[in-house]
Structure 1
Amino acid sequence: MKAPRFAKFFAQLPLLNQPQRLQVLDALHPAAGLDRIIALIGEIRSAGRRCPRCNSEHWHRHGRANDLQRFRCRACGRTFNDLTGTPLARLRLKGKWLDYLSVLLDSLTVRAAARRVGVHRNTAFRWRHRFLERVKDDRPAQLSGIVEADETFLLESQKGSRKLDRMPRRRGGKAALRGISHHLDCILVARDRNGNTIDAVTGRGALKASQLVRHLLPKLDAQALLVTDANAAYRRFVREYGIAHQAVNLQAGARVRASARGAIHVQNVNAYHRRFKEWLARFHGVASCRLPNYLGWHWALDGGRIASVEQLLRIAFGFIHI
């Protein structure tokens, strides 16, 4: 629209009644969302923009496609945009991304998210795990001071799988074996007194010392005091690597005791387990292969750590807590 015609149209906006104003706002909302998301993508990616193939910082603008600025690398000649090489590459309907990010902040189910944003439920599910793909890895580099560690268990699920490696069971069923068995997924959570948290799905069945070496040892400060329950896997782990350790015998009713370095207990990590399971219950069961994404999603929201769609979009491109 040319400037004189736009000026005439703009001058008539105050004459609109309320239904007409709402109709205009509804018509402009997708375009406004698209403009905002494009501006945010450019802002987030501009600082460290590199060629995804050769990592070169030398590029020049090379036209536009799919509402995004394209670039050509001067070193290898590859063309790319700000989404190339990210989990969001080739996703469509960019004008609805911000609305969907607000859905993630509200922890809505797939169908509720699809209704709010106005997309198909399969699209809502696919977007959920595209946006959360890097959230699960956005963790503190190290745990220090008093570090509490404990494991919790969820019934393993092959929801969405075409082939099962076990007999099928009714939805919301229970494990075929009593106690801790290979029918349960083991989730390890370690948390220091500053609230820094790491978690990992270690596999099915009881926790093993080798899994602690893989998931906990790289994150544990050399001077940290590890506080756990009386599980033998922790004792073997700390003995082999010379880690300061205190165990709490929960079965004997000894939940808290004093020490020179502070209170010895695992109540912080157990409270985190409780919050995670209460939050996860709204989804009525999730597939075991998707659990890391849900752990990352919950950690991002726990304690108001992520409070805006801009922060959530930034994590989708790269880490912000490391």
Structure 2
Amino acid sequence: MQSDQWQAFIAQFAQLSHRQRKASADLLRNGAQQETVICLIEQAAQAQLHCPACNSFHFYRHGHEHGLQRYRCVPCGRTFNALSGTPLAHLRYKARWLAYADCLLGSFSIRKAAEHLNIHRNTSFRWRHRFLALAKSDRPRCLHGIAEADEMYMLESQKGSRHLTRPARRRAGRARQRGISNEQVCVLLARDSTGQTVDFVTGLGQLTKARLHACLPPVIDRDILLVTDGHPAYPVFARELGIMHEAVNLRASIRVRGTVHVQNVNAYRSRFRSWLSAFHGVATRYLPNYLGWRWILDARRILSPESLLKATLGDFPHMTVT
């Protein structure tokens, strides 16, 4: 735009109403935010950019689409961009993504985030689980030294499901059977003395030796000391795996025996339950996402909306695990 054209354009702003000026300011602000988001997306994708259809790295630039550089794959001829094949593919309103990532770091509810960003609550729900799809996968590769393990049980929930596999319960309902039953889902937590934490949704009902063998062996050293409560599955599992094991008798109010205790993992479990209660119940099928979300917050591995956006695209520059 030429200088005289720019001056004529600016002079027209005096004729705008207050509502029109506000809309113009929002448009300019959103444009700047969208450029920032697009820049972050392109940067995060460069290191691993490939064709999502055939995994080829032989491609060339092929115009732009929705503000993103588009590419065409030479072997298969498909077109793609930096978002293709990622959890954020086909989502709209890029200008609001950083603000939504900030809402996740602030533990906003779905409705609160929707009101904050002026989006529909269904959009807020969809964005929550898209943003957590890859970020939740950042976990320690292995626990070392002394590791504490404990299980917690949560009432199984089919919230949001169109076809229930059991009779419906009232909101905030209780299990029909007392104690631990197949109406409750078991979550296994393991945490070492450095704070590295892994978690597993093992399934409905009691924790068993078979479930421990399915979860723990890949993420613990063979010279580790496993400390647990008095659950009978742990000593059998430790003996079969050939690792050291110590148990504390919580039922006898023996919580600490020298350096042997489960206070660390119990404190983490308590923080998770307290944080989860603010969401008034979550569907069991989304429980891994919430476990990952809590780990992100508790470990402080992602401290900014920009880092969370990059993690959602598979770029973990600040999340080196031991």
TM-score, normalised via structure 1 length: 0.91
Given that 2:222 and 2:242 are in contact with CA atoms closer than 8 Å, whether structure 1 keeps it comes out as no
1:4-153 equivalent positions in 2, closer than 5 A: 5-6=5-6, 25-153=25-153
Given that 1:134 and 1:319 are in contact with CA atoms closer than 8 Å, whether structure 2 keeps it comes out as no
Inter-partner Cα distance in structure 2 for 1:2 and 1:201: 62
Given that 2:59 and 2:74 are in contact with CA atoms closer than 8 Å, whether structure 1 keeps it comes out as yes
The 3 A distance-change label for structure 1 pair 45 and 2 is farther
SS at match of 1:127: helix
**1:310 alignment counterpart:** 306
271, 276, 284: which one aligns with 1:275 = 271
1:269 alignment partner AA: V
Is 1:295 the counterpart of 2:284? The answer is: no
**1:213 alignment counterpart:** 213
C-alpha deviation, 1:304, in angstroms: 2.7
Inter-partner Cα distance in structure 1 for 2:193 and 2:10: 56
**1:193 alignment counterpart:** 193
1:300 alignment partner AA: I
The 3 A distance-change label for structure 1 pair 4 and 150 is farther
- The CA deviation string for residues 145-178 of structure 1, in whole angstroms up to 9 with x for no partner, is 1111101111111111122222222111111111
Inter-partner Cα distance in structure 1 for 2:41 and 2:20: 32
Inter-partner Cα distance in structure 2 for 1:120 and 1:140: 35
Given that 2:154 and 2:186 are in contact with CA atoms closer than 8 Å, whether structure 1 keeps it comes out as yes
**1:238 alignment counterpart:** 238
- Comparing 45-54 with 137-146, greater Cα deviation is found at 45-54
C-alpha deviation, 1:10, in angstroms: 7.8
Given that 1:138 and 1:319 are in contact with CA atoms closer than 8 Å, whether structure 2 keeps it comes out as no
The 3 A distance-change label for structure 1 pair 58 and 7 is farther
C-alpha deviation, 1:116, in angstroms: 0.6
1:252 alignment partner AA: A
Inter-partner Cα distance in structure 2 for 1:319 and 1:272: 27
**1:249 alignment counterpart:** 249
Length, aligned pairs only: 315
Inter-partner Cα distance in structure 2 for 1:120 and 1:182: 35
Inter-partner Cα distance in structure 2 for 1:166 and 1:195: 38
1:150 alignment partner AA: D
C-alpha deviation, 1:119, in angstroms: 0.8
1:167 alignment partner AA: P
- Aligned-residue identity in percent: 53
C-alpha deviation, 1:225, in angstroms: 1.2
SS at match of 1:165: coil
Given that 1:73 and 1:79 are in contact with CA atoms closer than 8 Å, whether structure 2 keeps it comes out as yes
Given that 1:114 and 1:124 are in contact with CA atoms closer than 8 Å, whether structure 2 keeps it comes out as yes
Gaps of 5+ in 2: none
**2:161 alignment counterpart:** 161
- CA RMSD of superposed structures (Å): 2.3
The 3 A distance-change label for structure 1 pair 230 and 3 is farther
**1:285 alignment counterpart:** 281
TM-score, normalised via structure 2 length: 0.91
SS at match of 2:261: coil
Inter-partner Cα distance in structure 2 for 1:172 and 1:211: 28
Inter-partner Cα distance in structure 2 for 1:242 and 1:228: 16
Given that 1:144 and 1:192 are in contact with CA atoms closer than 8 Å, whether structure 2 keeps it comes out as yes
The 3 A distance-change label for structure 1 pair 8 and 222 is farther
